[in-house]
Each structure stands twice: as structure tokens, then as C-alpha cells.
Chains A and B, each alone.
Chain A
Amino acid sequence: MEGLFFNVNNGYIEGIVRGYRNGLLTGQNYSNLTQCETIDDLKLQLGPAYGDFLASLPPNPSTSTLAAKTTDKLIAEFRYLKANAVGSLAKFMDYLTYGYMIDNVALLITGTLHERDTRELLERCHPLGWFETMPVLCVATNIEELYNSVLIETPLAPYFKGSLSHQDLDELNIEIVRNTLYKNYLEDFYHFVNTDSDMANTPTSEVMSEILEFEADRRAINITLNSFGTELSKADRKKLYPSFGRLYPEGSLMLSRADDIEGVRLAVDGVNDYKTYFDATGMGQNSGPGAGNMSGGPGGEGKSLEDMFYQKEMEISKGAFTRQFTYAIVYAWVKLREQEIRNITWIAECIAQNQKERIGNYISVF
């Protein structure tokens, strides 16, 4: 049924996104990229995919400008899609940008807390998370004003309200603020895709639930692993876990009690996928080289947990394209594209720094 009227409003966008998806770099492209000797070669190889955007780069550009230019393409395409989206798809795409918005607001909060000129920060903000009233936030000179204007001016207000007060912004570590916001955002997004009349019980809610559940679990596991050895208390940590996902509630509870990697492994034992990752990365044994190592990093061989997560995310995203009449492909496409940019940056870094032995560390699913 859901397919009956889908194309009336969203057929064009779906077509475009599928077209974009075909423009993503394939394994063949990547192996060509890894053969490059210089950044200029790399630029040449990227020509078909990124031609217009890379044309203005000077010879031998830095990797960061390369990354910026490739991001520009993503932004341009995303904006085009957004301009053509109507109804619930437009709302869905708004939701997509909230994640970046959280990062931007966190950046501005950091700036305001340290009494910097926040206007300079605007250009550092992620363009996907840009919203029209963002410059207004720069007017605020103290944290209370900022808190009020965030509540009034941004779509993020619901995430602040109820869980953070303006004193919290002052006292809590910005990372905790960010992760609290992100948790609220994920929950809200999850709620949205499962209750919106256009999306409930459609492939969209199915695929998006899978993606978001995975994202929630990933954050929970990462937060747990990264908080070992920091001042983050277990109670505070528990508040950062999203209240859905495949680990929720038993896994989350066990995560909140975990003291070491072994504890995390026990917590995720119930979910086969994550258990496999932990076993594969050798973190099941206590002799593990430490969480989150990149593959080939000092002391770590094979893939790291983060790599595994990225890989899984890409596979879910790739899988999303097997479904039709769903908004999830937009989300999946953005994620695939981001990974592609990371891959390009990684390869460019490897070439620039002459560290060819680890150049194959990118994640390619096509």
C-alpha cells in the first residue's frame, strides 16, 4: 500500500538519490585511488566523481581542503534534495540535519563558555547543521542568554528542555551536554519514524529503526568504552544511553555497570552481531590491545571495533537501497557519502604522509 502514492510526492527525490548512490566510488575506484603517488594523481582519479568541485583546487592541495571540497559536493546535493522535498520527507530531512546541528550548537556553547567571539566559529560549523537563526546565537554573551536563545530559535529546543538547564551548560562537560542532546535526538528521531502517519509501518520505519537502533547501540558502547579512566560516573554515564536499541534495556543496564572491556563484552553478549565484533577485535580476551584501535595501529592488528561499526553502518546503509518507497535511502546515502569522504581523506593522508602500508584501511561496500 505504501508504494501506491509514494511517487506522487517523493518519486523524484528517490530517483535522484538512487542516481547519487550510483555515483559513489566503487571498490575498483578505491583500488585505483590507492595506487596514486601524489595528491594530484588522486585528484585526477577523483575527476569523474568530483570534477567540478575539485577543479578550483591548487596543485597538491592539503588533505583538509580536499575533504572540505568533497564535503561541499555532499552539501550541494543535499540542499538540492532538500529544496525538492515536501511534506514528511522534508521533515525527515530536517531530522537528518539535527545531528549536525547538535555539534554546531555544542561548538557555540564551548565558544560562549570561554568568552570567545562566536562569530568566528560560524565558519567552523558543519554546513549540514546550519540553520537560519544560527547567527542569532552569536549575539548571546553569557550562557543564560545563549540557553534562552537556543530554546527559542533552534529546532533543538525539545532536546534541551527537560534534561538540561542553563546551569548544566555551565557546569557539565560539553561532551556530556552534547551526548545528552544526541541521546534525546536519537530517541526523538526514533519516535518520529515510528509514529509519523506517513512513515509508520512502512519500509521507512523498518529500515530507519534498524539504522537508529544500531546508532544508539554504537553510541552506548562507545561512550562506555571511552569513559573508562575518566571522571564520568556510572550514574551519569547511564543517562547518556539512548532508551531504545537492541541492547536496551538489559544490555544498557549491564553497560552502565561495566568497569572494563570485559564488562562491556558481557553486556553485548546478548546481541550476536556485537558479540562477533568483540570476538573479532580480540577485545573478548583481557589481553586486548585496547578499544577502538584503528587496524594496524600500534599494538592492534586486524580491524578495530570502530572499523567494525563503520563497516556495519555502511552495510545497513547499502541494504537500505534494496528497499523501495522509503525515505531511509536519503539517510543511507548521506551516511555512505560521509564514509566516502572519510575514505578519500584517509587515502589522501596516507599518500601525503607516505604511509602506504595502511592505505587499505578504508571501508568500501560497493
Chain B
Amino acid sequence: MSGAGDREAVFPTRQSLGLMKSKLKGAQVGHDLLKRKSEALTKRFREITRRIDEAKRKMGRVMQIAAFSLAEVTYAVGGDIGYQVQESAKSARFRVRTKQENVSGVILPAFESYTTEGNNDFGLTGLGRGGQQIQRCRETYARAVETLVELASLQTAFVILDEVIKVVNRRVNAIEHVIIPRTENTIKYINSELDELDREEFYRLKKVANKKQRDTAAQDAEIAAKKAAASKVDSDKENESSAPDILGDQEDNDVIF
């Protein structure tokens, strides 16, 4: 506990105590929820990491095959077809669309690849020789691009999730290590202040009671003294008069025969 310094600036009143208590409760619930979210995200994150690993390995293999099929084309065609392919490609055959996926409130973009059918821009390339190799090479590269798209969507998810997990963890930690202790501190402070006030009040009351008692005692004493003085004067007077009232309040001595 970092002492009295780390608390919120509130007046130690019962109302703020109530506020603080509900705040603490809210913080705890929030902490629980966030913790669970962070765990869900982390789980997803682990899974994505694993899939990225797989996809990368797959990409390595596919790209190797693709590069090799290009070597085959070079061998079969015996020349450079790059320019011709570049120029005769008019519209994209292989396209990518995105959709969104919701993982515990985080929106992850997912890329999806699809090919438009019947789009065969350089179908005639290598007509004289090597056409088959070129078509096969194209298919191989299409597969490679597919893998790349998959990897791209995983990587994007990876980056976004990483960011979100960081933020969530920061929040969890902030709640756990700052907000909750501070609220607790505040509650404690308020409690201690209130206790202090209580004690003061009690002491004051006690003091007042004492005083009152003392005052009453003094008054009583005074009254008693006055009374005593008055009765003395009376008795003196009676003594002086020395005429005991037979019918007075003095009991007659029982006459014993």
C-alpha cells in the first residue's frame, strides 16, 4: 500500500463511501470480464500463431514448386515469356475479397480468394511450344498466391490481435494494480476518517455528558446546599420556638405501658 497518498480526492463522507464501494464492485466485475476476454483473445492468438507457422512452411514449399515450374517453362519455351504475359493480362483472374470475423468484440478482417472463371488472358501463350508448361506454371502460381492470401489474412489478424491483446492486458493490469488498490485505499481512508469522526463524536458526547453530569452534580449540590441551609434556618427557628408540634410530623413515641 502506497499509503494515504494514493487515493482519490474525495471528502470522507458516507455518500462517497457508498460511491467508492460500488466503484470497487464495478472494477472487480470489469476486471473479471476483461481477464476473460484477454484469455479468449490469447487463445485465438495462439491458434493464429500456429496457423501462421503452418502457412509459412506451406508457402515455402509451394513457392519452391512454383519457382521450379517457372524453370520448367524457361526450359520448354527457351526464352522469356514475361513481357508477353504481362502485356496480355487484362483483367484479374484471381481476386480477393474481405469479410469480417468477430472474436470477442475484435473485428478481424479475413481475406478470401476466388478465381473468376473463363478469364484466360494468356491462354495462347506458348502456342508453338511450351504452352502446357505455361498453363501448369500458372496453376502452380495461382496456388502459391492462394497460400499468400491465406497468410496475409492470418498476419493481419495476428497484428490486430496483438495490438488488442496488449490494450486489454494493459486495462486488466491497470484495473488490477491501480484502480482497485486505489479504490480500496480510498475506502479504507474514508472508513478511517469516519471512524475518527465517530470516535471524536463519541468523545465529544462523552465530554458533554461528563460536563452535564458535573453540572447537574454541581447544581444538585447547590440545591442541596440551599435546601440544607433553608432547613437549618427552619430548625433554628423551631428550636428557637421550641414548641414541638405534637400533631406535627414528628411521631410520637409509642407509649409503652
Contact = CB atoms under 8 A, between A and B. Distances in A.
B90 to A, nearest CB: 10
B78 A342 contact: yes
A311 to B, nearest CB: 13
Contacts of A113: 87
Interface in B148-189: none
Interface stretch (A10-18, A45-53, A85-93, A221-229): A221-229
Contacts of B197: none
Given A292-B133, A294-B75, A342-B75, A124 B83 contact: yes
B83 A229 contact: no
A175 interface: yes
A259 interface: no
- By secondary structure, the B interface counts as helix
Interface in A343-366: 345-346, 349-350, 353-355
Contact of B67 (A107, A121, A338, A353): A353
Contacts of A175: 124-128
Contact of B129 (A114, A222, A227, A229): A222
B74 A291 contact: no
B78 A226 contact: no
Interface of A: 63, 67, 103, 106-107, 110-111, 113-114, 116, 121, 124, 126, 173-176, 178-179, 182, 218-219, 222-223, 225-227, 229-232, 240, 290-294, 297-298, 306, 338, 342, 345-346, 349-350, 353-355
Given A110-B84, A121-B83, A230-B124, A353 B71 contact: yes
Given A178-B128, A349-B74, A353-B64, A231 B133 contact: no
Interface in B61-93: 64, 67-68, 71-72, 74-76, 78-80, 83-84, 87-88
Contacts of B78: 338, 342
A349 B68 contact: yes
Describe A's contact surface by its main secondary structure.
helix
Nearest to A298: B136
Contacts of B30: none
A174 B128 contact: no
Nearest to B84: A110
The 9 closest A-B pairs by CB, nearest first: A292-B132, A226-B131, A349-B71, A175-B124, A230-B123, A175-B127, A110-B87, A114-B87, A346-B75
Nearest to A294: B72
Nearest to A309: B129
A227 B125 CA distance: 10
A71 to B, nearest CB: 10
B130 interface: yes
A294 B76 contact: yes
Interface size class on chain B is: 20 to 34
5 contacts: A111-B87, A174-B84, A227-B124, A290-B136, A349-B74
A86 B159 CA distance: 70
B131 A353 contact: no
B130 A306 contact: yes
A88 to B, nearest CB: 28
A71 B130 CA distance: 20
A216 to B, nearest CB: 11
Contact of A231 (B84, B88, B123, B128): B123
Contacts of A349: 68, 71, 74-75
B22 interface: no
A176 B129 contact: no
B216 interface: no
A174 B127 CA distance: 10
Contacts of B123: 229-231
A110 B86 CA distance: 10
Contacts of A297: 72, 136
Interface in B113-156: 120, 123-133, 136
Contacts of A229: 123
A178 B83 CA distance: 15
Contact of A116 (B79, B87, B127): B87
A290 B131 CA distance: 12
A126 B78 CA distance: 11
Contacts of A346: 71, 75
A226 B83 contact: no
Contacts of A226: 124, 126-127, 131-132
A202 B126 CA distance: 34
B84 A107 contact: yes
Contacts of A342: 74-75, 78
Given A113-B87, A294-B133, A297-B72, 15 more contacts: A103-B79, A107-B83, A110-B87, A111-B83, A173-B88, A175-B124, A179-B128, A222-B128, A223-B127, A225-B132, A229-B123, A293-B132, A298-B136, A342-B74, A355-B68
